[in-house]
Amino acid sequence: MQALNLNGYSMPILGLGTWKSAPGEVYTAVKEAITIGYRHIDCAAIYGNEKEVGNAIKECINEELVRRDELWITSKLWNNMHGETNVIPALRKTLTDLQLDYLDLYLIHWPVAQKKLFVGANKAQHFLSLDEQPIANTWKGMEKAVQEGLTKCIGVSNFSVKKLKDLVAQSSIKPAINQVELHPYFQQDDLVDYCHSNNIHVTAYSPLGSSDRPEGLKAADEPVLLEDQTITNMAQKMGASVAQTILAWDINRGISVIPKSVNATRLRQNLNAVNVELNESDMSIIKSINKNRRYVDGKFWEVPDGPYTVENLWDE
Ligand code: A2P
């Protein structure tokens, strides 16, 4: 499979997403994925399923389906563990849950700092602004994690170009990746251009539109990406599925993708997207359907009198 080069380390361009993969389902999904050839698993502490993901990885290694060094495992630092000295304890907890000695990639999950794990509505006091808890301090902890051999690469998620530029200016180890929402309805050309011209890779989360998000995180008028007529027509012409066509579009742009599935047929289908070839005309047809529409808009970080707004989150 095609791979991206992160500081000399090879990250398979297609991985398995585990956000929203329920405990009870994710073990089987990860085991099946590794069995059929996935070598990249995207995790996060906040997904609440790292222990189960870890059980599946361990079993695959014990059964000699795969070696640890053939896998690419990503995880993410949650918002309540920002700050230089919190990073390594958070990472060690993730490593314990995943039953691993090291990660391949560790990301700052959001440019949002919380004092507590859970913040409800009207709980402005549970947040810290980025002036109170600067990203640059958290990044120092991320750099230490590399120096201590706990992760090979470090990066960020949900960062705007502005926040990336600020971080790059203050870092010794540059972020290797920015993982962001990206799909044909939210193509992020400016961000991708900035990243690619600064040697920062991009990973697309919610590449299929994440229609299994909890109802509270969905807008009533939401367009359904997997039902897009233009892509459906193109997919039919090629004998591919809509999901495969979307994933192939990302891969063609040099963007890694982490589609989530807990279904054996769809896991296989998504993996086979690496073999779907799109020509220039297909690429520009998909380019033309951009709606500049986020599914994960970050509105959940906006609380009355809190430090975060959709505008300052995305710097738009
Ligand atoms: P399931 O887990 O039952 O396969 P995203 O990766 O954008 O978060 O999207 C995940 C959603 O897309 C889940 O509801 C997942 O369901 C579904 N999904 C994953 N792969 C496919 C596919 N190949 N075709 C249709 N739906 C898919």
Q: Which residues contact 193 (CB under 8 A, 6 or more apart)?
A: none
Q: 120 or 271: which carries more pLDDT confidence?
A: 271
Q: Ligand 1 pocket, 203 CB below 6 A?
A: no
- pLDDT, mean of residues 278-294: 97
pLDDT in tens, 245-270: 999 999 999 999 999 999 999 999 99
pLDDT for 23 equals 86
pTM (2 d.p.): 0.97
User: Across-strand partners of 16?
Assistant: 41
pLDDT above 80: residue 72: yes
Length reported for the chain: 316
pLDDT band at 116 (very low <50, low <70, confident <90, very high): confident
Mean pLDDT confidence for 179-190: 98
Average pLDDT on 11-36 reads: 96
Contact between 18 and 54 under an 8 Å Cβ cutoff? The reply is: no
Both structure tokens of 252: 């063609």
Where in the sequence numbering do the catalytic residues fall? 47
| 263 close to ligand 1 (CB < 6 Angstrom) | yes
CA atoms within 13 A of residue 60's CA, in its CB half-sphere:
30
Mutate to test the pocket of ligand 1, among 36, 261, 293, 294 (most ligand atoms within 8 A of CB): 261
SS (H, E, C) the chain: CCEEEECCEEEECECEECCCCCCCCHHHHHHHHHHHCCCEEECCHHHCCHHHHHHHHHHHHHCCCCCHHHCEEEEEECHHHCCCCCHHHHHHHHHHHHCCCCEEEEEECCCCEECCCCCCCCCHHHEECCCCCCHHHHHHHHHHHHHCCCEEEEEEECCCHHHHHHHHHHCCCCCCEEEEECECCECCHHHHHHHHHCCCEEEEECCCCCCCCCHHHCCCCCCCHHHCHHHHHHHHHHCCCHHHHHHHHHHHCCCEECCECCCHHHHHHHHHHHHCCCCHHHHHHHHCCCCCCCCCCCHHHCCCCCCCCHHHHHCC
Residue 269's identity, in one-letter code, is Q
Q: Are strands 3-6 and 9-12 parallel, antiparallel or unpaired?
A: antiparallel
Confidence bin at 227 (pLDDT 50/70/90): very high
Residues 67-82 have a mean pLDDT of 98
The per-residue pLDDT for 121 is 60
Report the percentage of the chain scoring pLDDT > 70: 99
Mean local confidence (pLDDT), 83-110 = 98
Task: Return the residue matching tokens 């070696």.
Answer: 67
Residue nearest to atom 15 of ligand 1 (CA): 261
- Can you tell me the mean pLDDT for 184-192? 98
Single-letter residue type at 72 = W
User: What confidence tier does 123 reach under pLDDT thresholds 50, 70, 90?
Assistant: confident
Contact 128, 307 (CB under 8 A): yes
Beta strands 127-128 and 177-181, pairing class? unpaired
Mean pLDDT of 24-43: 97
Give the pLDDT of residue 119. 67
* Distance of alpha carbon 5 from alpha carbon 74, whole angstroms: 15
Candidates 312, 306, 250; CA nearest to 278 is 250
Distance from Cα 153 to the centre of ligand 1, integer Å: 27
Amino acid at 301: W
Q: CA-to-CA distance for 126 and 114, rounded, in angstroms? A: 6
pLDDT tens digit sequence for 28-37? 999 999 999 9
Q: What integer pLDDT is reported at residue 1 of this predicted model? A: 87
* Residue 125 confidence (pLDDT): 78
**Average pLDDT in the 33-60 region?**
97
CA of residue 208 to ligand 1 center, whole Å:
6
**Average pLDDT score over residue span 65-74:** 98
Q: How far is the CA of 35 from the centre of ligand 1 (A)?
A: 19
- List beta partners, residue 4: 11
CA–CA distance, 262 with 242 (Å, rounded to integer) = 18
Q: Is 183 in the pocket of ligand 1 (CB under 6 A)?
A: no
Query: What pLDDT score does 124 carry?
Result: 75
CB of 259 sitting under 6 A from ligand 1: yes
Q: Does residue 55 carry a pLDDT above 90?
A: yes
Question: Each residue of 75-94: pLDDT tens digit?
Answer: 999 999 999 999 999 999 99
Confidence class for position 306, pLDDT limits 50, 70, 90: very high
Domains of the chain, with CATH numbers? 3-212+256-262+291-308 (3.20.20.100)
**Is the CB of residue 111 less than 8 Å from the CB of residue 156?**
yes
